[in-house]
A and B are shown apart, each in its own frame.
Chain A
């Protein structure tokens, strides 16, 4: 059998495309968690982003408004979470779960009118270069702006956390909000900002799904990707580069098991469908097995409420 080398390139490109929403949502959640806040509402924020992006695109016809609108929708819904957990000091876990249920419900309600409407074509870059380099051509060229942004994001996130002052403050707040507060850092403000940023990235991830990846609205179309994103953050031990690896493995296995099913490999379908979840977790656990590094990168105050007693 002769396999066209460009075909392999196309498969890799499709794997990367399926990793995009995971990378975006995970990197957003990573910043939130690094500040000590556990937001389990990623799935809910993603699906809100998905319906907002699709609805705005259909109504206004503008892709730019739609993309930024989806991010804004993510910010708005995460503001609810931030207000509840940071101002009213509610429990992070319960509030996050509620946010997911709320997001799925409200997106289904808004989405009723948008079912079956075809999406719009999203502009891609460097389309013409696709065939100039074998294998690498389809991988590097012909993708949307969101795609390129997603693959730059883990490196930007890593740089932000390690090298910038604000990144340092985020890590400090996650390590010890009490000490940060005594140092004159406004813990609540930092956490608000990190939650809202996480919301924006989840919104963007959702918009990517409904506007670029499969340009249409289907109820519950995030299909658990928000939960995978959450798992990636934990199993990558809060390391953005490992998130990239995890997302690629997960995306890769999802695509490959589709192809295996299509070819008719005699393995139970249920096992193939479960494969990405199992392998991703195993790989991330193995590459993260250094308890010293885990201790150094785990935000010590994760999920704990902080309030100043004056």
Chain B
């Protein structure tokens, strides 16, 4: 049976921001649709309206000519619209089966059979009786998909589904989605990754600043044309020049181990690597394989044996982050609002936070506000942070601006080594480009980077050497030119 979904003149206004401005779209089953746009373009708002999480101010939604009133997520479910959110809607401490049964009206045994059938059909294999927090991101996503499939949906919406997946998991997901589409499920695929749109979809709708910019067939588009539509300007592509080979060793990690008391953290086993001046070492891996522990050990949040880290001919394994900064290391953690900055504090106050000793920010224990403000203004202009107001609380900066501020704060002291963890996570194309350019510039100034990232494209673009972390162990270190994303994917999955 054909399914036809129509969005007609949908508008949603938030204070100070029009999230959806008079958007109209039409979808037919049998095709996979891409909804493309940068962060804040309004695509998430639109799909939240389709799934009943957000109620639009104006506009109608029709499914097979029936006008739908979607006032809550259960209304969407009743009307056979299934949605897999970017941030999983799973209950971590409940078992997989409990997660699946919670919104089903079926009896336990009947449901178990149904789930087994679905898993066999699509080749999923998940233990139903373990808690969700023990699953990998890919498995969690499959649980979400099963949750939708139980209800035999007519429409399946996927919101940025690949941001947490490996290459292999992504291609598995694409196979499943194609299969669903062949079976008559209408698929709407939300993303900002252009490559995926080209690979998977039949039609693409591009959104920018709340407005629908274009609807077109994939066969009439290419990556550049889509990128320009999405950003609204011509993007220059950046490319790293091959670094001068230097043999001047800056940091050396020897037999570093970390055993956590928390069973949900990953233990690090026998980590060995070194980075030369002017080099960028990329560390790839699926999130949750020890990256955050590795970052904490390198930054001094977790203290290790003195001799395990040698930096600039000093042994610094037992120093805390503040002391390591004095040896000219700098850090950009993954979670911008939780670890890197204090959201309730003003921009200039955050700037002062990582510079307690080696600066003139403080006189006899008193804050030298003028100095800090002067310094903050310099960061804001040097690093292109899009605000004039250094009194603004950091929580009101967009992700991209906050990341620029953090990197700027770290770099203005001109450190010898910058360690960053997923620096472009969740940023839009423009901001990603800027961060990438900045990182390349650092290497050109003969300074080094350790880049821990889950984004393979980013690693291949920026790194000189690459290693893969899997279950707390590092693979051997490879030259970036010899590595392909397929090879990384295989290593990330744990194979040799």
Q: What is the interface of chain A, defined by CB distance below 8 A to chain B?
A: 165, 168-169, 171-172, 175-176, 178-185, 291-292, 295-298, 300, 310
Contact = CB atoms under 8 A, between A and B. Distances in A.
Contacts of A297: 93
B149 interface: no
A172 to B, nearest CB: 5
Interface stretch (B163-171, B213-221, B258-266): B258-266
**Secondary structure dominating the interface of B:** loop
A165 B106 CA distance: 11
Given A183-B73, A184-B103, A295 B94 contact: no
B54 interface: yes
A171 B131 contact: no
B264 A295 contact: yes
B55 interface: yes
Contacts of A169: 102
Contact of A172 (B54, B55, B77, B94): B94
A182 B53 CA distance: 6
B72 interface: yes
B91 interface: yes
Given A168-B98, A171-B93, A184 B72 contact: yes
Interface of B: 51-55, 72-74, 77, 85, 88-94, 98, 101-103, 131, 133, 261-264
Contacts of A295: 93, 133, 263-264
B53 A176 contact: no
7 contacts: A165-B102, A171-B98, A172-B91, A182-B51, A183-B103, A295-B264, A297-B93
List the 5 closest A-B pairs by CB distance, nearest first. A184-B74, A179-B89, A184-B73, A175-B91, A182-B89
Contacts, number: 64
Contact of B73 (A176, A182, A298): A182
Given A184-B72, A295-B263, 12 more contacts: A168-B102, A172-B91, A176-B89, A176-B91, A178-B89, A182-B85, A183-B102, A184-B73, A291-B261, A291-B263, A295-B93, A300-B92
Contacts of A292: 263
B77 A184 contact: yes
Nearest to A290: B263
A4 B263 CA distance: 51
A297 B92 CA distance: 11
A168 B101 contact: yes
Contacts of B261: 291
A176 B102 CA distance: 13
B89 A171 contact: no
Contacts of B73: 181-184
Contacts of B92: 175-176, 300
Contact of B94 (A168, A181, A310): A168
Interface centre among A175, A178, A185 (most CB of B within 10 A): A175
A216 B115 CA distance: 58
A181 B91 CA distance: 12
B263 A172 contact: no
A170 to B, nearest CB: 11
Contacts of B101: 165, 168
A126 B276 CA distance: 84
A168 B103 CA distance: 10
